[in-house]
Each structure stands twice: as structure tokens, then as C-alpha cells.
Structure 1
């Protein structure tokens, strides 16, 4: 049992488990310092049925929150921040639809917010004040001294204001104007041509990059990483991908790449799960899909910037198709399609109306 997934599990971990009392549980493994060897062992035990499956991103986030909140100096403000995280971001993540796991991006969004809240509370303390006595002028001063991500404290401040933990406080809404964060159309098509023709690249990387770059897909890395064989509709001569309510035919040569991923059922892990995994993009961990963060790094390594490339694809498709059609094809919410349609139109009538009023 010393070798899991072709990577050695540290002897100290196995020795500690061997001399311990009681069954090996997720809680027991959580006591060890974060290490890939522990993650490999956990995945192997889950894949073989020795441990129940759980949402690992959510579990890691919960452990991180405990450590981060503990660093806040004031006991009262620690209590307020703990209540906020339990009733706001964590509550939303724990109430996701059945079968939907917390993504790396969602967990990271919570980390950024809570980290900035903790920094604000410490900044106030260093200035000789508290959250209860904080004024809007002090919040504005703190916001202007740092990066725009500090505005993520907005949700926390609105929550404390409503519940009487602070005076009425707020922060600006972070802009979602994506048009300034894209690559050019020529650059995007150059990347498409490379992924189509460069057979030296791995099949999984080529397929993921094309799903990101092609107009009729434009999928985020988080959704690409969790695609399964159930999303693939094989009609014999043609192959289709069902992302929303309508299947989209997969053009050549992407259809051949997807077929190769469908036929590669074993994945890369040495441990064989009890049930055959349905993932198209496998992880080194038994029975698990590739981590979105890992897939994003792999795409960047071959010259495909995931977020910028996807923005460019969505800008193009939003300029050609109505928002309703986009939501049906790509599986987005209607409001997401509306937002991208507005982005693709630039400033448009709203800006013209504002200028005429000046």
C-alpha cells in the first residue's frame, strides 16, 4: 500500500495510521499537514469504496477559513466574521444542487473576500479603531490604498450594516467589463490553428483548448474539467456535445480528439475505482476529474490564456447570436447571455444617453 498512483505515500503518514486507533476517516486524514501524498491516499480510499466521497474543495475551504479567521485579533470581530462566512458564502456553497461540487474558482472567490475582510479588520485595529466605530471615510481610505480586489469586502460590510454590527458601510461594485480583458480575433484563430495541427501536444490539452476557443462552445475551464461521457452524443457519423438544452455538433478534428478521450476510460491513476469513471479529462487521483486550476496551468503552458481566450470567444458569439440562443446552446443562465450581449455591443445606447445628458 506504500505506492499510491505511482507516487510514494510518505512513510510517516502510513506509520501514524497503522499505530492509530479506530477507522481511517476523512477527519483523521485532515489532521495531517496538506500534502499530495495524503491527497493520493484519500483519493485511492474513496475510489475503492473504503471512504465515502465528499466535496474536497469545500472541505479545504472550511479548514482554510478556520485558520484565517483565527488570526483576527478581536474575539468579537472573529465571531462576527465567522457568522458571516457561515450564513453567507458557505451557506450558498453548501446549498448547491445535488451532484454539483464547489469549483476551485468559487472557493478562491470566498478566500479573496475573507482575506480582504481580515486585512480591513487588522488595519482598523492598527489605527486604533474597531469595526463598530468604523466610518465610511475610513473604509474609503483603506480601499484607495490597495488593489481593486479590496472592494470584495462589500458583501461583508452590507451584512454588518444590516445587522447592527457596524454603521452603514459599503464598497464599490467591482466592474465586470470584460471587453478590455480579451485577446484579438486574429490571435484566437492562430491558437485554434495551432491546436488543430500540432500533434505534438497532448490530446487532452488540444481538446480543452478548442472547447475554450471555438465559438459554439466557449466553455470555462471549470466546466471543461467536469465534462463526462454523458455530455457526448454519438450519432455514428457525427458527434455532438450537449451543454445546454440543445446539442451542438462537434466539428472535425475536435470530434476525433473527443472520441479519443471517450475511449481512454482508465485515466492516469494506477488505482482502479469501483465504478468506471465517466470523466473526459482525468486526474492523477483515482476516479476524479482533472483539477480546473491544473488544467488552466497546462493551457497557459502551451500559450492559451484560459480567461482571455474564453472572453474573446464569448464576445464574438454574443455579437452574432441572441442571448436566448446562447443560453440554450452553452447551458448559461439567461442573464449571463444578456450580460455578454451588452459587453459585445460596447458602450452602446446607454453610453450615448449618458453623454447627451452631460
Structure 2
């Protein structure tokens, strides 16, 4: 959406809010710039933009998934991944890198559950052998949804170069 059209639509509403701006999906870069200006001018309150964008991303991601996967992923994302970042003071808001890390954690779970669906498996049917055949890897947080599983950690090797006592 062009900036002039965006401003014309906003001018027609009675009250301006972050939620209203979140509803404009056509050209997010213009919406983000406008939101930044409105926050800077104290028209809108400041908020953790990276967390808010992650929430919007999660909603769009979940909307594309079958209901049985949404029922697993939504609580995981909200309570395990996003909860520690909520109610933080502004100086501890998400950075772009942290927001990307959060989204990637959720994406891995989505990929894993889609892989289970492709193999016609439920979490209750997951065994160690089946987990080992997952091409991406696994997670250690299960919350009683699977049988006992072991996800080996990558072993660290010895240093490639050893220093003797004098060099050290």
C-alpha cells in the first residue's frame, strides 16, 4: 500500500492504535515507518516492536497449520518461547537477532511436527529410533508428550593446537 493510501485509510478511523496498524498487511515497511513516526511523536505508546512482529508472525504461521498442530505449537510458543520476553522494560526488549532466534525455535518445532505428520506419527508414537531418523535434530523439552527419549549433545573435541607450558 502506498504511503498516501495508508494515510487516507488511517484518517478515516476514529482512534489510532497499534492493533489498527497491525491489520495493514500489504506493505509492512510503510506501516513500520509510519508506526515509528507515530511512536516518536507520542501519538502511539512505545512497544516492543520485535516481540509484536513475532506475535503477528506466529499468528500467520499457525493459521497455515492444521488444528491439531496449532493446539501443540500455540502453547509451546506462548509459554515456553515467548513468555520470558513479555513484560520486559524497554532496555531489555527484543533485538532483531533475538526475534529471529525466537522465530527459528518455533519454526523447528513446526518442521518437526509436520515431519511427524508426513510419516503418520503422533507424539505418543515417537520412539528413539524415529527421533534419530528426523533429519534436522530434536528438542529436549517434551512436557510428557513423548516416551523417554535421548537427544545426544554434540561432543566437543580437544583443541586443535596444544600449547606447552612455556607457550601458555
Bin of the TM-score, shorter chain as denominator length: 0.7 to 0.9
TM-score normalized by structure 2?
0.81
The equivalences for 1:111-122 within 5 A come to: 111-122=103-114
CA RMSD in angstroms, aligned pairs only: 2.6
Is the Cα–Cα contact under 8 Å of residues 9 and 38 in structure 1 kept in the other structure?
no
Structure 2: which 5+ residue stretches go unaligned?
Answer: 163-168
Q: Give the direction of change, closer, same or farther, for the CA distance of 1:37–1:134 in structure 2 (3 Å limit).
A: same
Give me the whole-angstrom Cα distance separating, in 2, the residues matched to 1:97 and 1:48.
20
Residue 36 of structure 1: aligned partner: 29
Structure 1: which 5+ residue stretches go unaligned?
Answer: 1-7, 144-149, 178-344, 350-358
Counting matched residue pairs gives 160
Counterpart selection for 1:159 from 118, 132, 141: 141
Q: Give the direction of change, closer, same or farther, for the CA distance of 1:173–1:90 in structure 2 (3 Å limit).
A: farther
1:95 CA displacement: 5.3
The equivalences for 1:1-358 within 5 A come to: 10-20=3-13, 22-33=14-25, 34-73=27-66, 75-94=67-86, 96=88, 99-143=91-135, 150-151=136-137, 153-154=138-139, 158-160=140-142, 163-173=143-153, 346=159
Residue 166 of structure 2: aligned partner: none
Give me the whole-angstrom Cα distance separating, in 2, the residues matched to 1:16 and 1:95.
31
Is the Cα–Cα contact under 8 Å of residues 72 and 121 in structure 1 kept in the other structure?
no
Residue deviations 1:100-124 (CA, integer Å, cap 9, x gap): 1101111111211211211111111
1:45 CA displacement: 0.6
Q: Larger radius of gyration, structure 1 or 2?
A: 1
Q: State the structure with bigger RCO (CA 8 A, min sep 6), 1 or 2.
A: 1
Is the Cα–Cα contact under 8 Å of residues 48 and 90 in structure 2 kept in the other structure?
no
TM-score normalized by structure 1?
0.41
1:23 CA displacement: 0.9
Is the Cα–Cα contact under 8 Å of residues 50 and 99 in structure 2 kept in the other structure?
yes
